[in-house]
Amino acid sequence: MVTERNGRGGAADTQRGAALLLALVLTVSLSMLALSVLASRDMAVVVADHAEARARARHAAASGIEWATAVVMDQGFTAQSRKLVLADGDEVAVTVDPVATPQVVAKGTCDGVEVRLGADVDAIDPPAPGYAWVSLSGVTTVNHTVSVLGSAYLGALLMPVSTLSRGTLAMHGNLDLTAAALLDTSVVTHVSGTTQCSVAAITAPTIDTAAFPSSTTGGVSVTTFTGDTTLADTTQNGILLVTLAAGQTLTLDNVTINGTIVVTAPDSALLRPMVHVLATCTINGGTALTGNLALLAPTCALKGKTSNSSLVAGVSFVYRIEDMNSATFRGQLITQNNMQSTAGDYTIERPVGFVPSTPLGITWPGTPKYRIGWRGEL
């Protein structure tokens, strides 16, 4: 017996099949979407965990740099390596090498993530006293007008300026004396500022003429001279190292020095070594290695008859000054002893904003400060 199905029954079967297929497609799509959401969430967790581990590793590396700085402050700059474990369990490996670039490298580690940081540790020496002229000892005699544009310090305890002086110390700023008594106003005049007595004595700086390189270093040329030396009608650049014996002289005659003069000589009271300046001389003090140091001659007398246009710019340190005239010291002048006599008017000037910088040769007492020069991630 044959049964025929009508057309409406076939259409219903077709609709049910289509709905089943659609439901299947939707079920698969939703499943895939759910899996995608779960995968995205897991990836977000992984990324967040990695970011946190990286941040902790970077923090560990930074802690290593700071630890190395503390070690340098306490023990000095010596090469060493150390592995440290921080309180949170993160690790850091630190390498210190004063001649490397960068000087300090720290590698922080957290959960397998590593971050390397580099830094340099710079020692900042105690600052020089803020004077135009510092006379650490000795009785000064002025037979002409010596103008000090800025403040001055005279360290002689009894008679900082001789009453036999025929000239005037003209102050354009404060005059600080360790002596208890005021000076005669005929000898010291104030265009501005005041005289203060019984101030605390300044401790002399440490002087090291052997601290300078003996050959060209870092692009700074070094020229050496030995014995009685005359430089005339010339221009010299860089560092000039001069070695004198007792009684010998370095003569500068109509010269320009763009750099630093360093004179090593015995401290002989009977045969005092000398730096003799003549005609028109200009010393533009300092190099990349010597800051703004112009003249370092701690055992030498400085004397000479120069023209009005002669200039020593920067920091100058000499044993004493004798018979100087017609020159300008612009920056800071330091005399270990005194200004023994004058041969004419001259000026000692400290410009506004001038900061003495003597990384080699002169170190003032005090505790140095240290600065971290971060170089970032390596």
- Quick check: 355 and 126 in contact, CB under 8 A? no
CB count in 10 Å sphere of residue 240: 24
Confidence class of residue 23 from pLDDT cuts 50, 70 and 90? confident
Mean pLDDT over the full length of the chain: 88
Residue 32 confidence (pLDDT):
76
Q: Residues 126-140: what's their mean pLDDT?
A: 92
Provide DSSP, 224-243. Answer: EEESSEEEES-EEEEEEEEE
pTM value is 0.72
Between CA 264 and CA 319 the distance in angstroms is: 12
In whole angstroms, what is the distance from residue 172 CA to residue 248 CA? 36
Is the pLDDT at 42 greater than 70? The verdict is no
How much is the pLDDT for 1? 44
Reported as half-sphere exposure (CB side, CA atoms, 13 A), residue 311 has a value of: 12
Residue 27 Cα to chain centre, angstroms? 72
Taking 50 as the threshold, does the pLDDT of residue 130 lie above it? yes
Residue 346 pLDDT more than 70? yes
Closest CA to 310 of 334, 290, 283, 285: 283
Q: For 310-329, what is each residue's pLDDT tens digit?
A: 899 999 999 999 988 888 99
Q: How do residues 97-106 score in pLDDT, each as one tens digit?
A: 988 899 999 9
Q: Give 183's pLDDT tier (boundaries 50, 70, 90).
A: confident
Share of the chain above pLDDT 70, in %: 91
H-state helical runs in 85-185: none
Q: Please give the helix or strand (H or E) that residue 362 lies within, else none.
A: strand 362-363
- Which residue do the tokens 């002289």 mark? 249
Please name the residue ranges forming H helices in the chain. Answer: 7-75
What is the chain's length? 378
Q: Work out the percent of the chain whose per-residue pLDDT is above 90.
A: 60
- Spatial CB neighbours of 104, under 8 Å, sequence gap ≥ 6: 64, 65, 68, 69, 94, 95, 96, 97, 118, 119, 120, 121
Q: What is the pLDDT of residue 8?
A: 52
In contact, 370 and 69? CB cutoff 8 Å:
yes
